[in-house]
Structure 1
Amino acid sequence: MARMMPAYCPVTAPPGEKSLHAVLASSGKTDDWIVLHSLAIADHVRQVEGEADFVVIVPDRGVLVIEVKSHQSIDRLSDGRWKLGNDAPTTRGPFQQASEAMHSLRTFLERKQVDLRSIPILSAVWFTGVRARTMLPSTPEWHQWQVLDSEDLRAGADSAILRVLAAGTAHLDEKIQHFSYGGVGPDLSTVQRIASLLRPRFEAAIVPGDVRRARDAQLVTFIEEQYLALDSMADNNAVLFAGPAGSGKTLLASEAAQREAAMGRFGRLLCFNRLLGKRLASQLSHVENLSVGTLHQELLRLTKVQPPSNAGPSFWERELPDLAIEVLLAGDVPQYDFLVVDEIQDIATEQYLDVLDLMVVGGLVGGRLLFFGDFERQAIFESGDGREILRRRSPQLASRKLTENCRNLPRIGYQVNLLSKLDPGYQRFRRQDDGVDPTFIPYTAGQDQSESLVQALRQLRDDGYDLNEIVVLSPLRFGSTAETTTDQWLRQVLRSADGKQARPGQLQYATIHAFKGLEAPAVVITDLDRFAVPGFESLLYVGLTRATDRLTALIESRTIRAVLGGKA
């Protein structure tokens, strides 16, 4: 069957697009075809921007750009305007729309030096609601072979597309001498190249505050590495996506969960961190068939128990999972069709995996599993050799490695490489360097860091960052600088992070543990003393990688010498 990009059709798509997408996705005669749906065209020949409803790339046959019209009636008014269904009349007809989209894409591919001399690139209009092939008159404005209709959709979309490509190629042979001499393309490698060139332009979404907890919204476009990861989700039933902090795992996990739910499957997106769980639940509250939250929230929901006020590791790691297993074995709770798990490095223990095994249809051996984890230095909750446990418990699990940093500016990433001793560390960054280095402010052990913190915040505000775009982090669970400061201004503006967006004038603070999985435009880390903090290297790595644009670290003098390789 054809490779559909994306693999699902959004619920907001017109009915004709949904029908055509479903038919092409289920056809058994479209092996090696690639179909792009809703391809955005930034450089359109006529408009500021445009869109092609479908681009079908068929090996050894050509490329077909399809404009889909779902209307139940088609009229051509006496003044030449088109009247489609209840839409307002328009002078720009569907064939013109299809032709302009086709020429735009052809120009783009030529600029990318794709050899198109023997590749038919054609356009057509698919009227999915009416029998347009018998209704539309013959006219010099379009070729009869460019018309597809409801009967073509019913009889077989693949054969209809091949018919159009064959007729269009014959037309080109009449106009261009020797056009198809020696055969037409694209060959399989060119099919892949065309798709990879067009694909980064077709799937972009406005994601408010997800990549930078900054301005109103930001355009997020998946990089090629992430597209390949998304392909892995479609090609494998169970996949482990592993990559360092900032490689887009949470963004991909969110996208994966939405795609699974859009296919009508019922499932769960789980993570470990409470603040991240709250953030994801808020962002995905509109998605049907999907429940979002932390693993412990799921265990409490299953067992219907209230955690004791003095609940410790033994309750969360052994007693609660055991209770959940009893409930699941009783068979009173329906299993999920899929599980998407972020922060899997903190969940990959035998006890927790026993629960996940019972949650999903097919279990860990045969279920639909999409796991996302950082096995560099981010397992700060001491979950053991999680990757090895996953391989043993889920032998079908395919692996996809993420390497490109999508979050941090390069100078932050390079400091993470140095201070956290990552090997090989970050090599490629999606974002452009802005020339500003992270700031490291030394302090003496036991010294009050409030004054240095105030100075760091003033500098960030001078650089244009509002207080609600800054987060103060500490590796200390108790007694951090933000928690104990006596500075009156700091006490007035500081607020403990709760997973929600900070209000204007508020400065959020949290432990590095609590903020794992999240990010902020500017981060100030206090209390960095390796001699006073257990697991310092892992916490340093997590803390440094939370900042997207500006990083300031208040670091104890001996510690900075030690992490740079000198004597403490």
Structure 2
Amino acid sequence: MPLSPSSLNGYEFNSQAEKEIYVVAANSTYFNNTEKYLFHSLNMAKTGDKKIKGEIDFVYMDSECILFLEVKGGSVKFDSLKNQWYVQGGTEPGDPFRQAYNTLFYTRDTLLPDLFRGKSIPGRLVYGIGVLFPDTIKPDEFRKSTMGQMEFDPELIYDYSDHKKGGLIGFLQKVKRYWSAHPQYAGRSGLSQKELSTVSRYFRQDLHFRLPVSDLLKKGSEEAQRLTGMQMYILDNLKYNPGKGGVIMGGPGTGKTLLALELFKRALTDGRRTLLICFNKNLAEYLTQQGRNLVTEGNYFICHLHSLYRDRDFLQNPPGDISSNEEYWSRDLPLQFVRNLAETKKRSFDYLIIDEGQDILNEYHFEALGLLLKGGLESGNWAIFMDKEYQNIYNNDADEYFEYLRDVYPCFVSLLQLNCRNTLSTIKRASLQTGFPEMPCLRTDQTWNSEIKFYSSDTDLKNRVSETIIKLEAEGVERKDVTILCSEREQLISLVQSNPGRYVESAFPVSGKVIVSTIHAYKGLENRFILICSPEDYNPNDKKQMSLIYIANTRATAQSIFFINSRYHSVIANRIANSN
């Protein structure tokens, strides 16, 4: 995967000039190997560090050198009397050379030495910069000069004349020769292929790419709108491993559903008939709506698992009656589906995408779904997005079948560890309520702090919830941005009946209403403000109950507020004390 991004589906560039440079590189054969890499748009900052130490449009890397390339589109001017560059159509001061050097220095002197502490890898590479002006001719008045460690040389400029003749690769080679011949880099031995791969993975996964996702996902905070390097890395892995499955594991808010939708869009763009499956009925409704927003044409089917099994379009004969047998949904129904599946539907999909995979992991479901996929699970194209650690509330066989899946079917496993949806405050509070470990968190904004509130009775709970909503409305929060999640259905019914003018049972926004749902029904969805009614019998030793509470908190993109009976005050207080 030498080019990043590997695909332009759902991808946006900061400027047309950057896109043109990428297209030239992609259309060349220069990067059709694992010896040369070109990364677009890197932010040189570590996870959780708000201060970006350097931004760069492109980074070129091979086993001998790393080049930092800054692109400026439109008119660019240079005032030789003031020694000042002007960009933004020649109207705004800005020095592309200094910007490239700042990123070089930070990477060379801080990032790579920290990564390879005690190793010689950073000292064996050549480092350099280049500046690209694809829309304008380099200024005649610009002359070679030096300032400290920085060299300003017309030889380091790619301009319109180079661009017009498709000279990007020649320019990269020239700049590499320029810096390789520099006295300060004499005798650099370069890296092995393994070391080069390690550095490239660091650039792709650990530095946050400014990679916007498809239009439907442009909401929430700026950081939550963008795919991280690791998420892009997973999409690239799926593209470059046809006929091999992908198992993508991550906790709440790590972007699994976001990636499932992006993969869905890319598969359809490539002309593949695609099946997108999940476990939760309401999540399936959400995915269906997003599918319509993402694509205007394409052959696809989106549904939740059990509706697929009873869909007449897939069956030879009408489905049988629903059984009260506790094994019906997990074993009997998928077995019936296998026996009753129409011949025309077997091997009818080019791509299978499964969200909420932890709820579906057993041999009966996967045998049934594999029959729908061309090549089956053995050699077809499939991806499963799952969370066995935090969100496994239905399936006791998940761990056992997961090991079987890995052993039997060709696949790779990738981990998403960075929460991109929730604020740090929400993650900390969720951990205090459940005892689950805190997840690494990308978002550092803290406009609202998540809270834990205690109540003494059912009436007191309703009053406190009402007071909280009134307060949020006074702050300008709309009712549609608030969801109340109940641990038990009895709580939901009682709360809605207490004020039907304010509350409505739903998993989706209703104008002028605060929606109320059970946690089970809301799994996979999100809203800005989430108010959680704790189980009446809160039990820290009940892992499924704790999973539900953690799931509820992580539905909040702005703030979660947890209401718990005051008789459990000491439990929460002890956890708060132990966390300090």
Query: Common fold, TM-score beyond 0.5?
Result: yes
Shift of 1:520: 1.9
2:393 to 360, 375, 380: 380
Q: Does 1:5 align with 2:10?
A: no
Secondary structure of 2:465 counterpart = helix
> Alpha carbons of 1:531 and 1:427: their partners in 2 closer, same or farther (altered >3 Å)?
closer
Work out whether 1:110 is the aligned partner of 2:120. no
Letter in 2 for 1:519: E
Counterpart position of 2:303:
293
Q: Which of 236, 239, 243 pairs up with 2:246?
A: 239
Query: CA–CA distance in 1 between the matches of 2:319 and 2:467?
Result: 41
Work out whether 1:222 is the aligned partner of 2:227.
yes
User: Which of 171, 193, 199 in structure 2 is aligned with 1:164?
Assistant: 171
| Structure 1 residues 397 and 461: alpha-carbon distance in aligned structure 2, compared to 1, 3 A threshold | same
8 Å CA contact retained: 1:349, 1:384: no
Alignment pair present for 1:516 and 2:523: yes
* Structure 1 position 31 matched with structure 2 position 45: no
Question: Structure 2 vs 1, CA of residues 541 and 386 (structure 1 numbering), >3 Å: closer, same or farther?
Answer: same
Q: Which amino acid aligns with 1:298?
A: L
* Separation of aligned partners in 1, 2:406 and 2:277: 18
Question: 8 Å contact 2:67–2:176 — kept in the other structure?
Answer: no
RMSD between superposed Cα atoms in Å:
4.9
Quote how far apart the aligned CAs of 1:386 are: 1.1
Deviation at 1:389, TM superposition (A): 0.5
Pairing of 1:273-292 with structure 2 (within 5 A): 273-285=280-292, 286-287=294-295, 289=298, 290-292=300-302
Deviation at 1:370, TM superposition (A): 2.0
Q: What are the Cα deviations for residues 455-478 of structure 1, in whole angstroms up to 9, with x where unaligned?
A: 22223334443211110111223x
Question: Is the CA contact 2:38–2:60 (under 8 Å) kept in the aligned structure 1?
Answer: yes
2:547 is aligned, of 532, 538, 555, to 538
Structure 1 residues 329 and 365: alpha-carbon distance in aligned structure 2, compared to 1, 3 A threshold: farther
**Deviation (angstroms), 1:515:** 0.3
What's the counterpart of residue 119 of structure 1?
127
Could you tell me whether the CA contact under 8 Å between 1:404 and 1:428 is conserved in 2?
A: yes
- Give the secondary structure class of the aligned counterpart of 1:182: coil
Show CA shifts across 1:266-320 (max 9, x none): 3233221122222222223223545433223433265368878977666644454
* Alpha-carbon distance, 1:564 to partner: 7.0
Equivalent residue number for residue 410 of structure 1 = 424
Equivalents in 1 of 2:70, 2:433: separation in Å?
52
| Structure 1 residues 552 and 102: alpha-carbon distance in aligned structure 2, compared to 1, 3 A threshold | same
User: TM-score, normalization: structure 1?
Assistant: 0.72
Choose which of 540, 550, 565 in structure 1 pairs with 2:559.
550
- What residue ranges of structure 2 are gaps of 5+ in the alignment? 46-53, 76-85, 110-121, 143-153, 576-580
Deviation digits for residues 154-213 of structure 1 (CA, Å, limit 9, x no counterpart): xxxxxx72x434433455688x6x26532586885595388359962441347667774x
By how many angstroms is 1:454 displaced? 1.1
2:452 corresponds to which of 415, 439, 448: 439
Letter in 2 for 1:8: S
- The percent of aligned pairs where both chains have the same amino acid is 21
Q: CA deviation at 1:392?
A: 0.8
Q: Deviations over 1:320-371 (max 9, x none)?
A: 4234324657254443332221111111122211112222233223333322
Contact kept in structure 2, 1:246 and 1:545, CA below 8 Å = yes
2:534–2:565: 8 Å Cα contact kept in structure 1?
yes
Kept in 2, the 8 Å contact 1:200–1:224? The answer is yes
Q: 1:38 to 1:547 in 2, by over 3 A?
A: closer
User: How far apart are the structure 2 equivalents of 1:50 and 1:122?
Assistant: 14
**After the TM superposition, which of the residue ranges 512-521 and 268-277 deviates more from structure 2?**
268-277
Deviation at 1:37, TM superposition (A): 4.3
1:261-340 paired onto structure 2 within 5 Å: 261-285=268-292, 286-287=294-295, 289=298, 290-299=300-309, 300=311, 302-303=313-314, 316-318=329-331, 320-326=333-339, 328=341, 330-340=343-353
- Contact kept, 8 Å, 1:241 with 1:400, in 2: the verdict is yes
Among 170, 173, 186, the alignment partner of 1:181 is 186
The equivalent of 1:421 in structure 2 is: 435
Distance 1:564 1:258, change over 3 A: farther
SS of alignment partner, residue 491 of structure 1: coil
- 2:491 is aligned with 1:480: yes
Q: What is the match of residue 192 of structure 1?
A: 200
| 2:100–2:129 Cα contact (<8 Å) kept | no
Supply the AA of the counterpart residue of 2:435: K
Query: Is 2:359 aligned against 1:356?
Result: no
Go from structure 1 to structure 2 and tell me whether the alpha carbon gap of 1:203 and 1:140 turns closer, same or farther (over 3 Å shift): same
Partner of 1:73: none
Pair 94,550 (structure 1): closer, same or farther in 2 beyond 3 Å: closer
Pair 1:226–1:173, CA change in 2 (3 A): closer
**Distance across 2 between alignment mates of 1:536 and 1:34:** 47
Instruction: Give the Å deviation of 1:100.
Output: 7.1
The count of aligned residue pairs is 511
Tell me how far 1:94 sits from its aligned partner: 12
1:525–1:543 CA contact under 8 A, matched in 2: yes
Q: Deviations over 1:227-280 (max 9, x none)?
A: 554555456532322232233322233333334444444323322112222222
C-alpha distance 310-255 of structure 1, shift in aligned 2 (>3 A): same
**CA distance 1:493–1:193, shift in 2 (3 Å):** same
Matches within 5 A, 1:33-48: 33-37=36-40
Give unpaired runs (5+ residues) of structure 1: 43-48, 70-75, 77-90, 128-135, 154-159
How far does the alpha carbon of each residue in 1:24-61 deviate from its partner, in whole angstroms, 9 at most, with x for none?
A: 57965x3232222477999xxxxxx9995x65333325
1:203 corresponds to 2:222? no
Deviation at 1:514, TM superposition (A): 0.6
Matched position secondary structure for 2:352: strand
Do 1:481 and 1:527's aligned partners in 2 also have CA atoms closer than 8 Å? no
Q: CA deviation at 1:414?
A: 2.5
Three-state SS of the structure 2 residue aligned to 1:375 is: coil
Distance 1:375 1:564 in 2: 28
Which piece of structure 1 moves more, 537-546 or 506-515? 537-546
SS at match of 1:518: coil
